[in-house]
Amino acid sequence: MPKTDRIAALKDEITTWRRDFHSNPELLYDVHRTAGIVAEKLASFGCDEVVTGIGRTGVVGVIRGRSSGSGKVIGLRADMDALPIEEETNLPYRSKVSGKMHACGHDGHTAMLLGAARYLAETRDFDGTVVLLFQPAEEGGGGARAMIDDGVMDRFGVQEVYGMHNMPGLPVGSFALRPGPLMAAADRFRIRVEGKGGHAAKPNETIDTLLVSTHIVTALQSIVSRNADPLESAVVSVTAFKAGEAFNVIPQTAELMGTVRTLTPELRDLCETRLKEIVTTIARAFGATATVEYERGYPVTRNHAAQTEFAAGIAAKVAAGAGAVDLEVPPTMGAEDFSFMLEARPGAFIFMGNGDSAGLHHPAYDFNDEAIPVGVGYWATLVETAMPAN
C-alpha cells in the first residue's frame, strides 16, 4: 500500500503547482507553458523517459518499477487545458489571463498526476511500468485522439488506461463510477435555411426563413419525445439562431446550431438520421431549402467492466469511509475525450469528489485542494495494487 504519510507531506507542494497552473491557464493545444513545466518536473523526479510533442503538445512520462517481470504497462491520464471563460473569483491565485480560466479542474488533475509521478518515481514499489499521459485539448479539441493518432498507446506499450475527473457536489474523499456508458457522445450540427427575403409588409411575396426555422426547432424536439426509446437518454438542443438584422426585412437566410448527446451507437445513428430528415422535409414543405452539417464529436465514454470493478476497489481503499464509493452513478450527458482512450484500450474513468464548489465550467469554480491527497493516493494505490512488487 502507498505510504500515506509521504503523500500527505507532498500536499502543500502539489497545491503550489496547482495554483500556479490556475493562475496561468492555456487553451486547447496552446498549453506550451503547462507542458513545459510538466516535462521539467517529470525529468527532475527521475522518470525513466520524458517525451514531449505527443499529440502536438502532450507530454508522456515513463516510470519503471523495481522490477518488470510482470510485463504490465498501465497508462494514467490527466488533461492540461483550460476554458475560454472570464474568472469571477477573488482568489489570490486567480487567472492572470483575461478571458481564460481553469473552470473544469484540469489544473488539479495535472497537479495530482504530477504528485503521483513524484511519489512513484521515488518509491518504485511496483512490478511493471507506469505511463503518465498529460493531454492537451480535452475541451473540444480531441487531444486524446491526437495522442492516440501519434501512436502513444503502441509506442509505450500501454495495456490498460485510467482517467479521473473531479465532481462538484460529491464530498471530498468520495468517488463515483459505473461500468458501461458513463458519459455521452457529443455531436454538433449546423443548419442553413435558404428562403426568399423581402419586405416584412409583404410576407406573401417571401419564403420566410424565420418561420421555417422555428418549425424546425419545434419539430426537432420530437426526436427525443417520439423517436427515441423512452428508457434511453438523448438530448437534442438548438443553441444558436441567427437570422435578420432589421425590423422590416424578412431575411433570405437563417442559421441554427446545436448539439446532440446520446449514450448508445444505435440512438446516435437514429438522432442524426431523423434530424436530417426533419430539417430537409420541413424546409421543402415551406418552399425553402436547407442544408445540414452534422459533425460527430467525442464518442460515448464507456467503462470496461473488469477495469471498473478494479478501480472501484482501489477507490474504496482511499475513500473517506464506508459507502464513499458509488458504483452505480447515473450517466451524465456531458462528454469527455478520454472516451477515445477507452476505445483504444480497456480501462475506467472515475469521478472524484470536489466538495461543495461551484459547478464545472462556471466562472466561480475552483478545484478543491483538500482533494489532492485523495487523488494522488488513488493513483498510487492503483499502480501498486495492479502491479504488486515481488
Q: Are residues 265 and 245 in the same domain?
A: yes
In this structure, what CATH number is given to the domain that contains residue 291?
A: 3.30.70.360
Q: Are residues 128 and 38 in the same domain?
A: yes
Distance CA 75, CA 56 (A): 19
What is the span of the domain harbouring residue 73? 4-183+300-386
Q: Are residues 205 and 280 in the same domain?
A: yes
The residue among 130, 128, 106, 143 whose CA lies nearest residue 29 is 143
Q: Are residues 84 and 140 in the same domain?
A: yes
Eight-state DSSP code of residue 125: -
What is the SS3 assignment for 75? strand
Which one of 266, 296, 326 terminates a domain? 296
* Cβ–Cβ < 8 Å for 344, 148: yes
Q: Are residues 197 and 339 in the same domain?
A: no
**Mean pLDDT for each 10-residue chunk of the chain (390 residues)?**
83 98 98 98 98 98 93 98 98 98 98 98 97 98 98 98 98 97 98 98 98 98 97 97 97 98 97 98 98 97 98 94 89 97 98 97 98 97 95
Binding-site members are 104, 106, 139, 165, 361
Binding-site members for Mn(2+) are 104, 106, 139, 165, 361
| Residue written as grid cell 438548438 | 238
CB-count burial class (<10 Å; 0-12, 13-18, 19+) for 364? middle
Q: Are residues 200 and 130 in the same domain?
A: no
Residue 198 grid coordinates = 423581402
- Check residue 329 and give its pLDDT: 97
- Check residue 2 and give its pLDDT: 61
Q: Are residues 234 and 362 in the same domain?
A: no
Q: Are residues 160 and 38 in the same domain?
A: yes
Distance CA 195, CA 210 (A): 9
As for how many domains the chain has, the answer is 2
For the chain, how many residues are written? Answer: 390
Q: Are residues 218 and 262 in the same domain?
A: yes
* Cβ–Cβ < 8 Å for 50, 65: no
Q: Are residues 113 and 172 in the same domain?
A: yes
Q: How far is CA 205 from CA 9, 58, 224, in A?
A: 76, 57, 35
